[in-house]
């Protein structure tokens, strides 16, 4: 593979670790099982170094005028765009994303830095009216070093999602990418340095969650933690953060309901609902994995979905395929287990239901895009996050019932609803227990829109101006006028 280096190590204080003597593990290509590159298995020592570097860089970065910070973030955005083709290829190889999904991620990452660059010189406090005798105002101040634990399903994009608002708020950052997808996060640190970000402002420690990740979130030098991933790991990180009373943003996945009402724009609903589950082979926290369909439209919708699913082309992200493999070996196993669980629970397979094999798929972790019908919301395939291209279709009769089914889940990240009735759209949107609701679309919230969970999908908000607030703490200064 010409585009990919033989080794990616921790990137600390503007330098990448050398391969010589480094503890390493292999990262492979999920589309064919071949080893792609080697990754440094960083641990407590690298975390110490990275946090020290971020701490040292903090005062100067915090005090740099906003306009200058903004110019650097904008330069990072531009550099990401210049490197689009290379980054798309790397993310496709390492994560398995289809070219379209990888392109979307790289473009989105560039947008994060562009969006937050524009914020840099517009952050301000408020004045508090204490009366004639006092003057009082707030200052928004960074925490210091922020830690970012990133999962493997959208490595580059999720690193950018956390780092850009953390940096614009004046923090310095240490990122721990997922062990399966470290390549583009290290590339991001390199690109940022080339774009003029001072060394130490953005550091990356590669390695396993139980080593590098656990060391980072429990490090006394860290002031704030952002994590995206599974509920159990989120809980563990929350416990570790209690030690230093560090505030957290936790984004822990979902089981999003996507509701097609009897008055839905049907063609758009079918297309949008399939996109909502098939994007990134279903490895998306916000995926619309439970499709609630009004009984009168059930067969028409299922037929439409099946027909569209037949057109999905599985293959490596580096080909013209429209769906790539499952990124990690463990996840590939997990999705297969859920295919079996669904069959055992008595759901019907409308299409798919198996691992995908055949020409061009040899050695890869491919799953047939699957639609289960006859699903009851109490089944495990309706309650548990599968994180693969597996859709559960659940019929309903009334709006009330649809809302009840939609909310009958421990998760609450996103939701979709399809209707031409304005009153219903806003009424149901208000009743849904989720951090983000799209109407007549799915994933309608762009990077400007606050994103985060209700219930066990976590707390804190990423994206938009809300993310900047998460990375700032408020200080009130009051003075007596005598
Ligand atoms: P995970 O939550 O264990 O891993 C996510 C990240 O956390 C990785 O970077 C990992 O190295 C790190 N990590 C693991 N243990 C840690 C610890 N003790 N301290 C600090 N960092 C630690 O998720 P995993 O095992 O890869 O996937 C399991 C399931 O989680 C998936 O099947 C899916 O359902 C869900 N998931 C949800 C995501 C989301 O976007 N919310 C993303 C990835 C997975
Ligand atoms: Mg990989």
Query: Which domains are present in the chain?
Result: 7-252+458-476 (3.40.605.10), 257-446 (3.40.309.10)
Tokens 């994995």 sit on residue: 289
CA of 206 to the centre of ligand 2 (A): 13
Q: Which residues pair with 146 in a beta bridge?
A: 173, 224
78 lines ligand 1 (CB under 6 A): no
List residues bridging with 259 in a β-sheet: 292, 417
For ligand 1, atom 25, which residue shows the shortest CA distance? 230
Name residues whose C-beta falls within 8 Å of residue 74's C-beta, 6 or more positions apart in sequence.
113, 114, 117
Q: What is the pTM of this model?
A: 0.97
Tell me how far apart the alpha carbons of residues 406 and 187 are, in angstroms, rounded to a whole number. Answer: 40
**Cα 444 to Cα 401: distance, rounded to the nearest angstrom:** 24
Ligand 1 pocket check: which of 96, 213, 230 to mutate, most ligand atoms within 8 Å of Cβ? Answer: 230
The protein residue with its alpha carbon nearest to ligand 1, atom 24, reads: 230
Residue 47 near residue 204, CB atoms below 8 Å: no
Q: Which ligand is nearest to the CA of 31?
A: 2
Catalytic positions are: 251
Q: Whose CA is nearest to atom 14 of ligand 1?
A: 209
Q: How far does the centroid of ligand 1 lie from the alpha carbon of residue 194, in Å?
A: 30
376 lines ligand 1 (CB under 6 A): no
Burial class from Cβ neighbours inside 10 Å (0-12, 13-18, 19+) for residue 125 reads middle
> What letter would DSSP give residue 399?
H
Question: Token digits for 42?
Answer: 């960083």
Instruction: Give distance in angstroms: CA of 226 to centre of ligand 1.
Output: 12
pLDDT digit string (tens) for the chain, length 482 residues:
458 999 999 999 999 999 999 899 999 999 999 999 999 999 999 999 999 999 999 999 999 999 999 999 999 999 999 999 999 999 999 999 999 999 999 999 999 999 999 999 999 999 999 999 999 999 999 999 999 999 999 999 999 999 999 999 999 999 999 999 999 999 999 999 999 999 999 999 999 999 999 999 999 999 999 999 999 999 999 999 999 999 999 999 999 999 999 999 999 999 999 999 999 999 999 999 999 999 999 999 999 999 999 999 999 998 999 999 999 999 999 999 999 999 999 999 999 999 999 999 999 999 999 999 999 999 999 999 999 999 999 999 999 999 999 999 999 999 999 999 999 999 999 999 999 999 999 999 899 999 999 999 999 999 999 999 999 999 999 999 98
Ligand 2 mean position to 447 CA, how many Å? 26
Cβ neighbours, 10 Å, residue 152: 21
**β-strand pairing of 458-459 with 248-251:** antiparallel
∠ Cα 37 285 3 (to 5°): 20
């Amino acid at each position: 593979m010409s585009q990919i280096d033989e080794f990616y190590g921790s990137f600390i204080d503007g330098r990448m670790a050398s391969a010589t003597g480094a503890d390493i593990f292999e990262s492979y290509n999920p589309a064919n099982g071949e080893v792609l590159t080697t990754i440094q298995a960083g641990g407590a020592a690298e975390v110490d170094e990275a946090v020290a570097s971020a701490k040292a860089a903090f005062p100067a970065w915090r005090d740099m005028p906003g306009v200058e910070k903004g110019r650097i973030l904008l330069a990072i955005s531009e550099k990401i765009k210049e490197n689009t083709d290379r980054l798309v290829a790397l993310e496709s190889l390492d994560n398995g994303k289809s070219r379209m999904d990888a392109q979307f991620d790289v473009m989105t990452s560039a947008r994060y830095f562009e969006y937050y660059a524009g914020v840099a010189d517009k952050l301000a406090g408020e004045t508090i009216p204490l009366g004639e005798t006092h003057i009082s105002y707030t200052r928004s101040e960074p925490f210091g070093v922020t830690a970012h634990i990133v999962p493997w399903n959208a490595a580059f994009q999720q690193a950018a999602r956390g780092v850009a608002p953390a940096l614009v708020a004046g923090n310095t950052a240490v990122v721990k990418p997922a062990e399966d997808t470290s390549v583009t996060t290290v590339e991001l640190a390199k690109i940022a340095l080339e774009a003029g970000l001072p060394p130490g402002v953005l550091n990356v420690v590669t390695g396993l969650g139980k080593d590098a990740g656990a060391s980072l979130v429990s490090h006394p030098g860290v002031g704030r933690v952002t994590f995206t991933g599974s509920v159990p790991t989120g809980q563990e990180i929350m416990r570790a953060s209690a030690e230093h009373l560090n505030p957290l943003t936790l984004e822990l996945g979902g089981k999003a309901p996507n509701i097609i009402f009897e008055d839905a724009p049907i063609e758009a609903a079918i297309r949008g609902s399939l996109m909502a589950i098939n994007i990134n082979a279903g490895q998306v926290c916000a995926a619309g994995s439970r499709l609630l369909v009004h009984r009168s439209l059930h067969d028409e919708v299922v037929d439409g979905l099946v027909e569209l699913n037949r057109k999905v082309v599985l293959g490596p992200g580096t080909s013209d395929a429209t769906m790539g493999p499952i990124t990690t070996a463990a996840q590939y196993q997990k999705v297969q287990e859920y295919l079996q669980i669904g069959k055992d629970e008595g759901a019907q397979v409308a299409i798919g239901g198996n691992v995908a094999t055949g020409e061009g798929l040899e050695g890869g972790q491919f799953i047939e895009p699957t639609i289960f019908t006859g699903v009851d919301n109490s089944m495990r395939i309706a309650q548990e996050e599968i994180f693969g291209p597996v859709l559960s279709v659940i019929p309903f009769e009334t709006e009330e019932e649809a809302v009840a089914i939609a909310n009958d889940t421990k998760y609450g990240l996103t939701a979709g609803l399809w209707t031409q009735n304005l009153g219903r759209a806003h009424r149901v949107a208000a009743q849904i227990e989720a951090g983000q609701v799209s109407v007549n679309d799915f994933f309608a919230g762009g990077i400007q829109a606050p994103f985060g969970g209700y219930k066990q999908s976590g707390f804190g908000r990423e994206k938009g101006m809300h993310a900047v607030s998460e990375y700032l703490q408020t200080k009130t200064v009051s003075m007596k006028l005598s």
